[in-house]
Amino acid sequence: MDTRAKIVSSAEARSRIPAAAVVAAGYFDPLLAVHSRRLAAARGQAGFLAVIVTDPPRPILPARARAELVAALRVVDLVVLDGPQAPEPAFDFREQDAAGSSEFVQHVHRCQS
C-alpha cells in the first residue's frame, strides 16, 4: 500500500473522517519514536485515527515530508495537511513537539562537535 494515499487536504478531511474518530495534531518535526507511542495511546480503542500535521515556527522538514512519515505509521488512518478547514484535534502535541524538537536539535549539534 502506498501510504501517501492517506494524506488529504483539510477541506477533504471533513468528508473522510468518521464521527467516532480520534483526531490528533502535532509538528512531527522530526518524527521521533515518542510520536508513535503518543499516537498509539491517543488512538486507544477508537477504530480510526486522523493526524493533522501543522507547521512549527522554524520547520526542519517540509510539511509534505512530515506528512508522509506520519502516514507510514500503522496506527494512523488519515493524515491531514493543516489548513483553515482542519478539524479540531482531541489531542494536541504541538507544545510537546516544540520542546522535543529543540532537545533533538541540541543533541545533534552536540554529537557533531
Tell me the pTM: 0.88
What is residue 1's predicted lDDT score, i.e. its pLDDT?
A: 67
Sheet holding 7-9, edge to edge: 7-9, 78-81, 49-53, 22-26, 91-92
Q: Supply the pLDDT for residue 92.
A: 93
Tell me the mean pLDDT per 10 residues along the chain, length 113: 90 91 94 92 92 92 96 96 90 83 74 83
Q: Which domains does the chain have, with CATH numbers?
A: 3-112 (3.40.50)
Instruction: Determine the pLDDT at residue 45.
Output: 82
Report the distance separating Cα 20 and Cα 32, nearest Å: 27
